[in-house]
Amino acid sequence: MESFEEDRLGRSGFARLLARALVEYPEASSLVVALYGDWGSGKTSTLNLCFKALEDLRAEDKRPLLVRFNPWWFSNTGELLAQFFERLGNDLEQEGRLSGIKEKLFSYRKLIAPAGSVIDLFVSGGAITAAARLASAAAERSAAAREQGSQDVRALRDDIERMIENSGRRITVVIDDIDRLSSAEIRDVFKVVKATANFPNTRYLLAFDHSTVTRALSEVQGTEGDAYLEKIVQVPFHLPQPEQDQLWGIVREGIKEIASAQERISSQELAETEEKFDVYSYYGFGSFFTNMRQANRLLDSLRLVLPPIAGEVRLSDFLVLETLHLIVPRVYDRLLGSQGLLLGSTPGAGLLMFGSSASQTRQDAMNEATKAEVEAIRDTAPEHLRPVVEHLMEDLFPRAYSALHGMGGYGPEFHHEWVSQRRVCVPEFFRTATSWGLAPGMISSSEVEELSRLSDPNLLRARLVAYEDDQRPGVDLKTVVKRMGAWLGTSADEPALKTALRAVFGIEGHETAYPTLHLLGIDALKKLPDSDSRKELILEWIEDDHVTPVLTDVIRTLGGEHGWYRDSRTLPEESRTLSPRDFSEVLSAAVRDIEEQAESGSLLGNDLFNEYLYLWKYAAGDEGPREYLQMVIVSERGLPELLLAYVTSTNLAFEGWTGWPEAGERPELRVQLLEDFCLVDEAKALAEGPEGFYGSSAD
């Protein structure tokens, strides 16, 4: 803080009062004033305002010569003493009426401390005892004496005092950051002050934490630090303590200024953060900040770490974590070690809809563990902060909220919502917020938004597939589709949903990504407004292209809603993704396309080949797929190709499978696909025949 306009703590009046006290002190003798304030309370900012008040004095004869010295910049006692006189001499030399004083101060410094040690030159009566104390540095003292001719310390000091007095100017020397020094250096600063404190018209303003300095003086002097200080400081001032609301207001204004400068943080998120912090204020968030140093540490940290992750994680969540990191680091460290009990959904919660007592038991056990950990984290905070720390954990982590309030648990169905909000309860976003960068496997929100703006499904598909060759750790087609799926589930409009569906339906040749693509397809399809729009999109895709592996899985999942499978529950008509009539139309189109692929010979080469056959079976009965399989296995090398397609589709094989059999080996041929279509005997007969791979001509 350099000007009165920047004063947010109401220190301007106090700073002007302090300046007036320094200027209007009536005596020509020196004066030592101390400004006491806790570490981080804003002493330096108040000194800046005091300097400004002194500079603003209209009458030049009242405006003092200002000398500011920070001993923290210098590494040892000798350097500290030399630099003090160097600074004092340079600043006073600029005043025309004090020309030549720099040389005299330099000579004076060499005489009173020739080897760099600071010596107490004055006893209580003010008598000079330097001669008795300089014996240890006779050589340097002699050199200094030759330079000064016959002048001794007293005479040189008299010259300096006379020059200051004749100039008619007052001198104010400010020494800040004394409490940052070592104990020995603190003592030496006060010895420097004692060595020059009798200069006329000179005022010293010393700023430090009283308890730190008195403790240091007691340690090195072997006496009471307070008593030592009282012999030097004539007038003490205590820095007014800021109101907590003032500090919290400064923090909020600073956060708003820093966040507003980030292009990737929207005005909507800024407004939501303001609302969130209104709530946090009610619960006592401002009590984290007891001095300006804490406030400035947070704001300085945000200036550094917010730009790289702006827009990648919810702003209010990140601000809470960074506050904990800087103000209560023990709480933060414990949070980092408790991710398994705080992040994500409650284990077992998603299974309770099926009435599993085992799931209930698991959920209860996890809730108890989470509750115990939240309470342990809370108790690492200072007592006055524990209530607000607990509330913040409830707000950041749904698992903590449900555990503390006995509300069951949050199941995985909440995941998409949390991802779309970029909340730190999602492990990937927690890692982003705590590592100040994207976690492995994450892509930026701006990347997701860029993908979502693509209106050409072919271009979107190409962009998605290209992530398979991405060089970033953990980034591939699956991770990007997951991230995009969360956005589609919460923020996409109808055109964006249709573009995404057409893009993922057409992705082939990426088997490991099919489960993720299938889930995105189902979720996006359900987000379309009605059954008719869903049906039309699927029919248009089949007509323009063909039934693909992803679409096959999607249609089979929709079949479960219509009672296809014994182990799935038939949904009421109003809850189904497609109405019975619309689903029937989709099935007819899908079966026609699969039959065409079978006739053309392309079906056997499809990924998830077996899924096509099961879809064909459930949609139109056994006859069509069975006839097709019979045709395949009787064709030349048809059976090996069928088995290979089955193995590739399912990652399974017949019992005892260790690779294709060597000549003479006869592993048990057991393929579920053949059993389901009653073709096992025919396949075995072909395999054991003279042309089969059990036969003599097998290669």
Tell me phi and psi for residue 571, to 5 degrees: -85, 150
- Sketch out the chain's domains with CATH numbers: 4-238 (3.40.50.300), 244-435 (no CATH), 529-621 (no CATH), 630-699 (no CATH)
Average pLDDT over residues 200-217: 91
Instruction: Measure the CA–CA gap between 482 and 406, rounded to whole angstroms.
Output: 31
Predicted confidence at residue 313, as pLDDT, reads: 94
Radius of gyration of the chain (CA): 41
Q: Which of 56-65, 298-307, 442-451, 660-669 has the lowest mean pLDDT?
A: 660-669
In our burial notation (b when 16+ CB lie closer than 10 A, e otherwise), range 364-383 reads bebbeebbebbeebbebbee
Position 128 pLDDT exceeds 50? no
Predicted confidence at residue 156, as pLDDT, reads: 83
Residues ≥6 apart with Cβ < 8 Å to 100? 93, 163
Higher pLDDT, 408 or 185: 185
Calculate the CA 146 to chain-centre distance. Answer: 65
Average pLDDT over residues 288-304: 91
Instruction: Measure the CA–CA gap between 275 and 99, rounded to whole angstroms.
Output: 61
Mean pLDDT of the chain: 81
Predicted confidence at residue 425, as pLDDT, reads: 94
Q: Furthest-apart CA pair in the chain: how many Å?
A: 127
Q: Which of 65-74, 119-128, 681-690 has the lowest mean pLDDT?
A: 119-128
CB 352 within 8 A of CB 363: yes
Residues ≥6 apart with Cβ < 8 Å to 388? 280, 283, 284, 285, 287, 288
Predicted confidence at residue 74, as pLDDT, reads: 63
Q: Which of 122-131, 322-331, 515-524 has the lowest mean pLDDT?
A: 122-131
Predicted confidence at residue 348, as pLDDT, reads: 63
State the number of CA atoms in the 13 A half-sphere of 334 facing the CB: 18
H or E stretch at 66: strand 65-69
Calculate the CA 192 to chain-centre distance. Answer: 46
Report CA dihedral (222, 226, 227, 229) to the nearest 10 degrees. Answer: 100
Output the pTM of the full model.
0.62
Predicted confidence at residue 149, as pLDDT, reads: 41
Predicted confidence at residue 578, as pLDDT, reads: 96
Other Cβ atoms closer than 10 A to 266: 12
Higher pLDDT, 321 or 16: 321
From the list 212, 237, 418, 228, the residue with the least C-alpha distance to 313 is 418
The pLDDT confidence band at residue 206, using thresholds 50, 70 and 90, is very high
CA angle 652/656/659 to nearest 5° reads 70
Position 396 pLDDT exceeds 90? yes
Q: Which of 80-94, 453-467, 569-583, 666-680 has the lowest mean pLDDT?
A: 666-680
Predicted confidence at residue 106, as pLDDT, reads: 82
CB 129 within 8 A of CB 121: yes
Instruction: Measure the CA–CA gap between 559 and 570, rounded to whole angstroms.
Output: 9
Residues ≥6 apart with Cβ < 8 Å to 547? 555, 590, 593, 594, 597, 612, 615
Sheet holding 65-69, edge to edge: 65-69, 171-175, 202-208, 31-36, 235-238
Average pLDDT over residues 337-361: 67
Instruction: Measure the CA–CA gap between 622 and 627, rounded to whole angstroms.
Output: 8
Average pLDDT over residues 172-184: 88
Predicted confidence at residue 527, as pLDDT, reads: 93
| Most confidently modeled range among 218-232, 498-512, 646-660 | 498-512
CB 520 within 8 A of CB 488: yes
From the list 492, 524, 487, 529, the residue with the least C-alpha distance to 505 is 524
Tell me phi and psi for residue 131, to 5 degrees: -60, -40
Instruction: Measure the CA–CA gap between 97 and 166, rounded to whole angstroms.
Output: 8
The pLDDT confidence band at residue 137, using thresholds 50, 70 and 90, is very low
User: Which pLDDT tens digit goes with each residue over 585-637?
Assistant: 999 999 999 999 999 988 888 888 888 988 999 999 988 988 888 887 777 66
From the list 32, 227, 194, the residue with the least C-alpha distance to 126 is 194
Instruction: Measure the CA–CA gap between 430 and 284, rounded to whole angstroms.
Output: 24
Tell me phi and psi for residue 323, to 5 degrees: -65, -45
